[in-house]
Amino acid sequence: MDTAMPRGGKQAKKREHFSHISDLIGHKSVQKLEDITHHRVTNRLIHCMNVSYYSYLLCKRLRLDAGAGARGGLLHDLFYEENSGKQKKNNWRLHGYTALENAREFFDIGDTEADIIKCHMFPLSPDRPRYKESLVVMVIDKYCAILERVLFWR
Ligand SMILES: [Fe+2]
Ligand SMILES: [Fe+2]
């Protein structure tokens, strides 16, 4: 019996996705996101992993830079403030800039990844996305936020 994984199978895609983020995921700056509640119902690490994986899949489908989608998606919310109370309004509009500062402190960040992180809150953030990969992550971020709220609602 042939038990080889078909090319393009789900497990193969997960492995390929992981190969793009393997140097980031174990870093303490990323692991710390697990301690932060996100969208009230999940933690920030789970949200970033969801955005990374689905951005990777959509970029790959559209023949864009799937690696940049995966990496930018993982780091797009690399900030540590809780989005609550008075801070919420400003954080929510500008946290892409904070996330980019943090990402640059710990990792080598390419132009596409930087644009993805900085502009993922567009049109709330001042800067307009310059790359198609940024548009993908921007849309997937909203999609994941809605799904997480629905699936984890309690
Ligand atoms: Fe965000
Ligand atoms: Fe997000």
Q: What share of the chain is helix, strand, coil (3-state, %, to 5)?
A: 70, 5, 30
Domain spans in the chain, listed from the N-terminal domain onward: 11-152
Instruction: Render each residue's pLDDT in the chain as its tens digit; 154 residues.
Output: 444 445 668 999 999 999 999 999 999 999 999 999 877 678 999 999 999 999 999 999 999 999 999 999 999 999 998 765 555 666 678 999 999 999 999 999 999 999 999 999 999 889 999 999 999 999 999 999 998 888 766 6
Angle, CA 13 vertex, CA 11 and CA 16 arms, to 5°: 110
The model's pTM is 0.89
Ligand at minimal distance from the CA of 147 is 2
Yes or no: say if 140 and 122 are a contact pair by the CB < 8 Å rule: no
Burial of 147 (0-12, 13-18, 19+ CB in 10 A): middle
User: What is the Å distance from ligand 1's center to 118 Cα?
Assistant: 9
Ligand at minimal distance from the CA of 124 is 1
Q: Does domain 11-152 have CATH number 1.10.3210.10?
A: yes
Yes or no: say if 52 and 102 are a contact pair by the CB < 8 Å rule: no
* SS3 annotation, 55-71: HHHHHHHCCCCHHHHHH
Ligand at minimal distance from the CA of 74 is 2
pLDDT at residue 115 in the model:
98
User: What is the Å distance from ligand 1's center to 62 Cα?
Assistant: 23
pLDDT at residue 3 in the model:
44
pLDDT at residue 8 in the model:
65
